[in-house]
Every structure is written in structure tokens, then in C-alpha cells.
Amino acid sequence: MKLTTSDIETLKQASLINPNLRIPKGSKRILTISLMKCVMFEREFSNVVSKTNDVLIYDLNEFLRILKVLQDNSTHKDVELNCDSQFIYLKSGQDEYKIKQQSKDRMSVPTKEVECNTLNYKFHIDSYLISLSKKFKNLFEYVEITRTAKD
């Protein structure tokens, strides 16, 4: 599957919630949950990632760093993602990285379908605010971002 810019942005957003990621075989849907099980993230890729195997990424931030290195050092900017039961393959032009798949029981990922009858809050955090919070995170031990609504 060719990773689009939108797909890569989706991975970056998911990495803010949980570094572990499971994409079920035959699915375009990404579903992850925070370690404290209080924040859930759901989004879809542009295409089905793998028709035969689950994609199990243990450290999504490391995966994104490898992806960035591959994009920066290759003459081709398109990156193909493929996988088998043991490895995830990232390929761009002549360059290819092989990343070991992780076992599901060593990861903190949703294990069952979660249904929400009502949506209490829905929000969008733009990339500018995310980059600011990352900069401040390095300066302070704790950064709290709040938003208040007008009555």
C-alpha cells in the first residue's frame, strides 16, 4: 500500500495517544486507546493496509522516524508499506527497511470493538498547536492545554 501524506499525518496523530498501534488485516481503520484507557483515537487510511496480516507496530514514534529517514534519503518520495506475519516492509525506490512485527500480548491496543452511543465531546487539534505543545513539553514537566467555551 502506498502511504499518502494524509496517512502519515494520521500515524503522527495516533502516536500522540499511544505508541502501540494495531491495524487489523483487511481494514483501513486505525483504532488506538491511551494507556490509561481514557482517550480513544479512530481514523481511516486512504486504502486497506494489509489484506492478509495485522500490522502490529510496537513503537510508532520510531516507525515514523524510520519513515522520515526513508523519505529524506530516497530519490523517490513515495513510500510503500507491506507486511507479512513477521515483518513490516517500508520501501521507497531502491531503499527498503524491514521492521519486526510485535506480538499482540506485548502491546496496549484495543482488543475488542468499542461502541459509543453518544458523542460527548469531539474536537480537532491542529498541527500548529501540537507542535507548540511538543516545544513546551521539553521546557516544562507538565503542560496543560485548556479551552473554554462561551456560554
- In this structure, what DSSP letter does residue 128 have? H
Q: What local confidence, expressed as pLDDT, does residue 114 receive?
A: 61
Cell readout for 65 is 522516524
Q: Which of 30, 108, 36, 97 is nearest to 63 (CA)?
A: 97
Residue pLDDT, tens place only, 9-38? 888 988 888 888 888 888 888 888 777 777
pLDDT at 1: 81
Residue in 3, 17, 10, 6 with CA at minimum distance from that of residue 109: 17
CB atoms near residue 39 (< 10 Å)? 12
| pTM greater than the 0.85 cutoff | no
Q: What is the mean pLDDT of the chain?
A: 78
Segments in the chain below pLDDT 70: 74-76, 109-123, 136-151
